[in-house]
Amino acid sequence: MKRFYKTVDVVPAGGGFGVTLDGKPIRSPAKADFTLPTRALAEAVAAEWDAQADEVVPSAMPLMQLAATAIDKVAPNRQVIIDTIAPYGGTDLLCYRAEAPAALAERQAAAWQPLLDWAMTAHDAPLAATTGIVHQAQPESSLKALHAAVAAQDDWRLT
């Protein structure tokens, strides 16, 4: 589509910040209010709109696309998103390590164990690591804790 606007601005809107084109607030592709949680994100989205030349190219606006996803897809489907993400804790690759070669096993332990330690410390969600690819059942209490941790995230972090 042709660029139809001359000015791009950031304005306070709905407890956050909006972007206006020639003074008119932009809306999401699903026609929802396009309210962003921080001025920095609104300024970055505004810069993407301002950078458009003669043609508006949506694929050249990745932050606009991410924000629209949070607004149009995540917010109205929040519980489905949470219930889709949280179960990954039960089969996360961090819990499946190589036995050999030894150098790989050492690198995996060095890189991945701190993340498992963090899950245990931050979320009271100890996860068992194993070698090979045979499923290692994780404690139900850990899976519930991870589900709660995912559910505690806002729509923007779930995007």
Looking at the structure of the chain, the number of domains it has is 2
- We report the CATH number of the domain holding residue 99 as 1.10.3580.10
Could you tell me if residue 51 is inside a domain? yes
Mean pLDDT estimate for the chain: 97
Question: What pLDDT is attached to residue 139?
Answer: 98
87 and 22, same domain (yes or no): no
Q: Which residue(s) pair with 78 in the sheet?
A: none
Percent of the chain with pLDDT over 70: 100
Cα 138 from Cα 148, distance rounded (Å):
16
154 and 126, same domain (yes or no): yes
Cα 84 from Cα 2, distance rounded (Å):
38
23 and 52, same domain (yes or no): yes
Are residues 11 and 30 in contact, defined by beta-carbon separation less than 8 angstroms? Answer: no
Question: What pLDDT is attached to residue 21?
Answer: 99
Q: Which domain holds residue 48?
A: 8-60
Query: Which residues, including other chains, have CB under 8 Å from residue 90's CB and lie 6 or more apart?
Result: 137, 138, 143
Nearest to 91 by CA among 118, 127, 117: 127
Q: At what angle do helices 39-50 and 62-69 cross, to 10 degrees?
A: 130
Could you tell me if residue 68 is inside a domain? no
- We report the CATH number of the domain holding residue 50 as 3.30.2180.10
Cα 94 from Cα 57, distance rounded (Å):
38
Span 24-54, pLDDT tens digits: 999 999 999 999 999 999 999 999 999 999 9
Question: What pLDDT is attached to residue 134?
Answer: 93
Percent of the chain with pLDDT over 90: 99
Give the three-state DSSP class for 108: helix
Mean pLDDT over 100-124 rounds to 98
Nearest to 71 by CA among 150, 15, 12, 154: 154
Could you tell me if residue 103 is inside a domain? yes
